[in-house]
């Protein structure tokens, strides 16, 4: 580190420290994303913890889920 | 492969039913013993199903390209449409390759959409980054543009602790990948392509690095240990 006292943004800190347990790979997310989005749209209380966690920790997968949600609504 | 969008056909009634996708996977087209180009004659039903598949994919790729168009500031409507068409073509082949994986856990159209979205996203991000160098840095940004002095002071202790943990708890490779993906905002598929690895491998690297950071910060008293979600 060149400057150990330089602040990080709070957003960056949040991204760095996101708890991504239980682990789910991007491929597994892709395999389940269609079913996940349909369930979530049908029931706002629907929970799939590994999917929720992965989408909180992977910006590209989360963006894809948003597009799929938009397509279905 | 027949370019389905160029084939003028009327859609047979069978393709309007819920199982129209079954016509995509006629046995001769899925026989691994047959090489490409030996798939036998196209039936009207299969052509109609392929056309319908392509329409679904275009719907998905056009939306995804439109949503991500801010990443391509110089691209006009024709460029965006070309990207969407190319992504739909690529996704079409991907769907046909993986047709046997469809287990009807969702509607077939939803299953198809995700292939279009994936291909379009990859296409846009690669286009956006094609002339941009990706450098693997071990140093953090020099400025904090969106925080004033008060919030800086409030978060300074945690920020210092995170910086220390980045330096001491991670391997050099983990640190480089964390900074590229989570601070420099390099898209994960772009970074995977540049490094000759996969999106999965990079995400696993980030997952492990985040765990190490959290453990280090919990040990130093900056984070509270969270309950294990795997057992809750």
Beta-carbon contacts of residue B198 (< 8 Å; ≥ 6 apart): B192
Q: Does A13 touch chain B (CB under 8 A)?
A: yes
Q: Does A42 touch chain B (CB under 8 A)?
A: no
| B122 and B166 together in one domain | no
* Domain finish residue from B80, B96, B128: B128
Backbone angle region of B144, left / alpha / beta, with phi > 0 → left and psi within -120 to 50 → alpha: beta
What is the pLDDT, as a whole number, of residue B2? 45
Residue B115 inside a domain? The answer is: yes
Choosing among B140, B149, B179, B228, which should be mutated to test the A contact, i.e. which has the most A CBs within 10 A? B140
* Domain finish residue from B78, B98, B128: B128
Is a pLDDT exceeding 90 seen at residue B55? Answer: yes
Q: How confident is the model at residue B11 (pLDDT cuts 50, 70, 90)?
A: very low
- Give the pLDDT confidence of B143-158 residue by residue, as tens digits: 454 555 545 555 678 8
Residue A10 CA: distances (Å) to CA of A13, B46, B117, B203: 5, 53, 30, 21
Residue B208 inside a domain? The answer is: yes
| B108 and B154 together in one domain | no
Report the percent of chain B where pLDDT is more than 70: 75
Q: Does B211 touch chain A (CB under 8 A)?
A: yes
Tell me which chain A residue has its CA closest to the CA of residue B232: A49
Domain count, chain B: 2
Q: Does A38 touch chain B (CB under 8 A)?
A: yes
- Give the pLDDT confidence of B70-114 residue by residue, as tens digits: 999 999 999 999 999 999 999 999 999 999 999 999 999 999 999
Is a pLDDT exceeding 50 seen at residue B9? Answer: no
State the alpha helices, DSSP H only, in chain B.
27-30, 44-67, 77-97, 108-129, 149-168, 172-178, 188-195, 199-219
What is the pLDDT, as a whole number, of residue B141? 55
| B107 and B155 together in one domain | no
CA distance B156 to B128: 34
Q: Please confirm whether the linkage preceding B93 is cis (ω < 30° from 0).
A: no
Residue B73 inside a domain? The answer is: yes
Residue B231 inside a domain? The answer is: no
| B55 and B154 together in one domain | no
CB contacts of B204 in chain A (<8 Å) are: 23, 25
Question: Alpha carbon B214 to chain centroid distance?
Answer: 26
* Domain finish residue from B77, B96, B128: B128
| B124 and B153 together in one domain | no
Residue B89 inside a domain? The answer is: yes
What is the pLDDT, as a whole number, of residue A1? 37
What is the pLDDT, as a whole number, of residue B23? 81
The residue extents of the domains of chain A are 23-72
Q: Nearest Cβ partner of A34 from B114, B214, B223?
A: B114
The domain of B40 spans 13-128
pTM of the prediction? 0.83
CB contacts of A53 in chain B (<8 Å) are: 229
> How many residues are given for chain A?
73
| B107 and B38 together in one domain | yes
CATH number for the domain that contains residue B175:
1.10.10.10
- Ordered DSSP codes for A1-57: ---TTPPPPHHHHHHHH---PSP--HHHHHHHHHHHHHHHHH-TT---HHHHHHHHH
| B82 and B166 together in one domain | no
Q: Does B97 touch chain A (CB under 8 A)?
A: no
Choosing among A32, A68, A72, A73, which should be mutated to test the B contact, i.e. which has the most B CBs within 10 A? A68
Residue A48 CA: distances (Å) to CA of A14, A29, A36, B229: 22, 11, 7, 12
What is the pLDDT, as a whole number, of residue B24? 84
Residue B197 inside a domain? The answer is: yes
CA distance B103 to B99: 9
| B123 and B18 together in one domain | yes
Mean pLDDT estimate for chain A:
91
CB contacts of B169 in chain A (<8 Å) are: none
| B22 and B122 together in one domain | yes
Residue B134 CA: distances (Å) to CA of A12, B117, B123, B131, B181: 19, 24, 17, 10, 10
| B47 and B100 together in one domain | yes
């Amino acid at each position: 580190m060149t400057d150990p006292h330089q602040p990080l943004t709070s957003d960056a800190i949040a991204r760095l420290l996101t708890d991504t347990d239980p682990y789910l790979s991007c491929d597994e997310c892709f395999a389940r994303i269609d079913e996940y989005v349909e369930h979530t749209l049908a029931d706002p209380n629907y929970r799939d913890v590994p999917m929720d966690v992965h989408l909180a920790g992977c910006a590209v997968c989360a963006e894809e889920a948003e597009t799929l949600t938009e397509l279905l609504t | 492969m027949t370019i389905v969008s160029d084939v003028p056909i009327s859609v047979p009634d069978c393709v309007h039913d819920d199982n129209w996708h079954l016509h995509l996977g006629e046995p001769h087209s899925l026989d691994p013993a047959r090489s490409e180009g030996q798939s036998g004659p196209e039936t009207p039903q299969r052509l109609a199903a392929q056309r319908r598949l392509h329409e679904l994919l275009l719907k998905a790729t056009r939306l995804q390209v439109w949503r991500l168009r801010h990443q391509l500031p110089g691209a006009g409507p024709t460029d965006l449409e070309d990207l969407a068409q190319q992504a739909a073509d690529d996704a079409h082949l991907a769907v046909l390759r993986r047709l046997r994986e469809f287990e009807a856990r969702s509607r077939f159209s939803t299953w198809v959409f995700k292939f279009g979205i994936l291909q379009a996203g990859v296409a846009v991000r690669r286009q956006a980054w094609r002339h941009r160098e990706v450098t693997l840095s071990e140093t953090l940004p020099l400025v904090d543009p969106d925080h004033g002095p008060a919030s800086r002071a409030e978060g300074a202790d945690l920020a210092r602790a995170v910086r220390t943990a980045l330096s001491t708890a991670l391997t050099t490779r983990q640190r480089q990948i964390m900074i590229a993906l989570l601070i420099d905002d390099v898209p994960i598929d772009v970074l995977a392509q540049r490094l000759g690895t996969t999106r999965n491998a990079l995400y696993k690297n980030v997952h492990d690095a985040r765990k190490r950071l959290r453990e280090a910060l919990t040990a130093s008293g900056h984070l509270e240990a969270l309950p294990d979600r795997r057992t809750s």
